[in-house]
A and B are shown apart, each in its own frame.
Chain A
Amino acid sequence: MIRNSILLILVAGVGIILWQELSVFQSPEKLNDVAGYYAKNGHAETGAANIVTSVVVTYRGFDTLGEVTILFITATIIGFLLKGKQAKEAWKRPDSEFLITASQVLIPVIFLVGVYIFVNGHLTPGGGFQGGAVIASANILWLSALKNSKINHNLLEFAESFSGFGFVLLGVLGIFMAGGFLDNKIFSLGTFGTLFSAGAIPVIYSLIGLKVGSELSKIVIDLNQTQEDAE
């Protein structure tokens, strides 16, 4: 009882401090200097219609490299700490025909939607992170519905290494052929608004989408298939 009331007083104290800071917040009238520069010159310098995409891939591309590194380390640690799948288990109850047939139709369609989202990242809302999450959802459906077919671990590892290596290679190519690391002018800027525009942004975002999708799929598959039952 005493402990609960002390906790409530602490939390209320933090709340009062936060409210003092945020109650004098005025919604600004115009964009500040950095956002104004991105809004005014983003279209002409990068050629992408989605300004958030050009900020994430070109103007702040180094932060995206750090985020991809963090995801890679996380997936490695999870794979290291959990035991792998050992023996083949016999499922006690066969699944229904309807579930198996419906998922065999749906899984390629969900993969296609994920690929569409990250290929068109520079024209519409979307991009690599969203497409990678949709691809990981397709893998969840595969694990839950089609229990007798195995997921090819070698394909996942190849996709992940290839996309990570390709991302860094495109960045280094930017040093030699254009302005700096991860510049997008190594391919031509093209016509504004078509699919093959904005230089290297579609290629970079597709590689990021593949990498995020395979990392999240690996995390989910490891958590599903460990043999850590407590006996």
Chain B
Amino acid sequence: MIYSIIIIIMALIMLVMAFVAIMHKNLYVAVIASGIISLFASVIYVILAAPDVAITEAAIGSALTVVIFFYVLNKIRRTNDTK
């Protein structure tokens, strides 16, 4: 029962973050929102008894993907408005 409540709370936060990632105007905020989705998916993987997948998703989804996005966003000129 407690696991179901934890999954419901995380699922609600993930859905809100998905809306923020698609509709926000600032690109940096959108990228961080997608990193938060991967992080909470990794917690759901632990509750679903899959520890290997949880380690991989946490290390790759929220660390490597976000850093790759930031490197590319910094190469695009900053005087262009980041829409």
Instruction: Please determine if A and B sit in direct contact within the complex, based on CB atoms under 8 angstroms apart.
Output: yes
B76 at the interface (CB under 8 A from A): yes
Further pairs besides A125-B51, A130-B59, A137-B63: 17, Cβ < 8 Å: A50-B52, A125-B55, A127-B52, A133-B59, A133-B63, A133-B64, A134-B59, A136-B64, A137-B64, A140-B64, A220-B67, A220-B71, A224-B71, A226-B75, A229-B75, A229-B77, A230-B76
Q: Inter-chain contact count A-B, CB under 8 Å?
A: 45
B56 at the interface (CB under 8 A from A): yes
Contacts of B60 in A (CB 8 A): 133
Q: Which residues 80-119 of A sit at the B interface, judged by CB distance below 8 A?
A: 117
Quick check: B75 and A129 within 8 Å, CB to CB? no
Quick check: B63 and A126 within 8 Å, CB to CB? no
| Cα of A53 to Cα of B75 in the assembled complex, Å | 39
Name 8 A/B residue pairs within 8 A (Cβ), A-sorted.
A50-B52, A117-B55, A126-B55, A130-B52, A133-B56, A133-B63, A137-B63, A229-B75
A228 at the interface (CB under 8 A from B): yes
* Chain A residues packing against B (C-beta within 8 Å): 50, 52-53, 117, 125-127, 129-130, 133-134, 136-137, 140, 216, 219-220, 223-224, 226, 228-230
Contacts of B55 in A (CB 8 A): 117, 125-126, 130
Q: Which of B52, B59, B68, B77 contacts A125 (CB 8 A)?
A: B52
| Cα of A63 to Cα of B64 in the assembled complex, Å | 23
* Chain B residues packing against A (C-beta within 8 Å): 51-52, 55-56, 59-60, 63-64, 67-68, 71-72, 75-77
Contacts of B67 in A (CB 8 A): 140, 220
Tell me, rounded to whole Å, the shortest Cβ–Cβ distance linking A24 to chain B: 21
| Cα of A137 to Cα of B56 in the assembled complex, Å | 12
| Cα of A229 to Cα of B77 in the assembled complex, Å | 7
Tell me, rounded to whole Å, the shortest Cβ–Cβ distance linking B51 to chain A: 4
Contacts of B56 in A (CB 8 A): 129-130, 133
Tell me the nearest residue of chain B to A114, going by C-beta. B59
Q: With A127-B52, A216-B64 given, is the CB distance from A137 to B59 under 8 Å?
A: yes
Quick check: B52 and A52 within 8 Å, CB to CB? yes
Q: Which of B59, B63, B68, B75 contacts A228 (CB 8 A)?
A: B75
Contacts of A224 in B (CB 8 A): 71
Tell me, rounded to whole Å, the shortest Cβ–Cβ distance linking B7 to chain A: 15
Contacts of B59 in A (CB 8 A): 130, 133-134, 137
Contacts of B52 in A (CB 8 A): 50, 52-53, 125-127, 130
| Cα of A52 to Cα of B55 in the assembled complex, Å | 13
Central interface residue in B52, B67, B75, B77, by most chain A CB within 10 Å: B52
Tell me, rounded to whole Å, the shortest Cβ–Cβ distance linking B31 to chain A: 14
